[in-house]
Amino acid sequence: MTANVIDVLEERGLLEAVTSPDIRKSVDGPVVAYAGFDPTSPSLQAGNLIAVLGLAHFQRCGHKVIAVVGGATGLIGDPSGKSSERDLLDSEEVERNLQGIRENLSRFLDFDDPAAPATIVNNNDWMRNFSFVDFIRDIGKHFRLGTMLNKESVRARLQGEDGMSFAEFSYQLLQSYDFLHLYDTENCTVQVGGSDQWGNITAGIDLIRRLRGTEAFGVTFPLVEDSSGQKFGKSEGNAVFLDQRKTSCYDFYQFFLRTTDADVVRFLKMFTFVPVSEIEELARATAEKPGERAAQNRLASELTRMVHGESGLAAAQQASNVLFGGSVEGLCADDLLRVFADVPSCELAMTEVVGTLVVDVAAKSGACSSKGEARRLIAGGGLYVNSVRVPNADAKIGSSDIVDGRALVLRSGRKTFHLVKIV
């Protein structure tokens, strides 16, 4: 065994609460821990990273970890932390989402570790064997209504206008049985999750104690908020997904690069494996020279590399450099459209652009107020097509200048951009 995982989580700001102080002694030797993920989307998002990285820390400290993807529970939806009932998913949508989540998890957990490989399981594999009557008889009879009603997630919903359906109310029974099943089949004694999972986790611990007469443990992680109180999460409208088809490598990189000085040290500890001693050095460097944003650059680079690999990081950094005069070579049209989403733009037909003088396109697109202004910029070396300086006023736009046949970028000076969309 290496470091005590509870100490590691605490040092990195990842420990919200434990169900018993005895867990510190329990994890001195190898244990089996699990976390659950509801397949409500084909991709996990930044808020899920805390649970994923929590599992990864357990594995790095010598423990076996299990990711439970809720093929059964996902059909109902966890009410924890929600003010209204989720839309129910059908089984085909759940299965599609399962595939995406499996791919996301593979970037953080080692499924080939010779000593303790991580595993992914689907709780529908054991839940589908139950009839409703059997489940209520064998599992439901061990739950007390008063205890269930006193769960914070339940009380909050019952006080609201919409109340809570029986389906959602029964969710904690299903998650509790997951813990019992994994205890029986995998000797799993630890469940981890966000702080909103406290009620579900303790319900599973109670079930194991009632039916098996032994102690299991729970560890919760803090729900991530920035210094302004904004929560990471798709329900808040600011989701940053791990799948580049939903959040591009560039947008993912930029999201963390924009982290404030007030949050960046905490996020480096929580979201990366950078040693704490190095994070403290980055904190000092950022305090001394805030303009260089050393900590933010490290945070964005580490996370983008973990999620999207070296190629994704390179693409994100290149796209970012374009905004500071770097080359657009190697970027696709989608990258350009995302990078320059907030700059002035226009739509022109291919015939209006290819084979046409740059001065004409610059004027027609609005990048320059007139052909005369375009000529003056070119004479002074200040007009660029896709980051390449226009050599003279006779230069024309070639077909190779149109990225993917869909876009090109005009730049005047150092930072004034105009996006031309080809229609």
Q: The domain 249-322: what is its CATH number?
A: 1.10.240.10
Longest Cα–Cα distance of the chain, Å, equals 86
Q: What's residue 35's pLDDT?
A: 97
Q: How far is CA 38 from the centre of its chain?
A: 14
> Sign (positive/negative) of CA torsion 52, 54, 55, 57?
positive
pTM of the model: 0.80
Distance CA 153, CA 169 (A): 10
Q: Contact 121/68 with Cβ under 8 angstroms?
A: yes
Q: Mention every residue, 6+ apart, whose C-beta is less than 8 A from residue 297.
A: 257
Structure tokens at 141: 């009879």
Q: What's residue 84's pLDDT?
A: 46
Q: Contact 303/251 with Cβ under 8 angstroms?
A: no
Q: Contact 151/199 with Cβ under 8 angstroms?
A: yes
The beta strands (E) that lie in 183-317 are given as 190-194, 217-221
Spans of all domains in the chain: 5-224, 249-322, 338-422
Q: Mention every residue, 6+ apart, whose C-beta is less than 8 A from residue 93.
A: none
Neighbours of 362 (CB within 10 A): 27
Q: What's residue 313's pLDDT?
A: 92
Q: Contact 350/405 with Cβ under 8 angstroms?
A: yes
CA 346 vs CA 85, 95, 337, 349, 382: distances in Å: 42, 41, 12, 10, 21
Q: What's residue 236's pLDDT?
A: 46
Q: What's residue 232's pLDDT?
A: 65
Q: What's residue 54's pLDDT?
A: 96
Q: Mention every residue, 6+ apart, whose C-beta is less than 8 A from residue 44.
A: 37, 52, 101, 104, 105, 241, 242
Distance CA 162, CA 213 (A): 38
Based on C-alpha coordinates, what's the Rg of the chain? 26
Structure tokens at 209: 């104690």
Q: What's residue 189's pLDDT?
A: 98
Choosing among 1.10.10.10, 3.40.50.150, 3.10.290.10, 3.30.70.360, the CATH entry for 338-422 is: 3.10.290.10
| Fold held by 5-224 | Rossmann fold (3.40.50)
pLDDT tens for each residue of the chain, 423 residues long = 579 999 999 999 999 999 999 999 999 999 999 999 988 888 998 889 999 999 999 999 999 999 998 878 776 755 554 444 445 567 788 778 888 888 899 899 999 988 889 999 989 889 888 888 888 888 888 888 777 787 777 777 777 777 777 777 888 888 999 999 999 999 999 999 999 899 899 999 999 999 999 999 999 999 888 777 777 654 445 688 999 888 888 889 989 998 999 999 999 999 999 999 999 999 999 999 998 999 999 999 999 999 999 988 988 888 787 777 677 777 888 878 878 876 788 999 999 999 999 999 999 999 999 999 999 999 999 999 988 899 999 999 999 999 999 999 999 887 788 999 998
CA 113 vs CA 61, 62, 83, 202: distances in Å: 12, 10, 40, 30
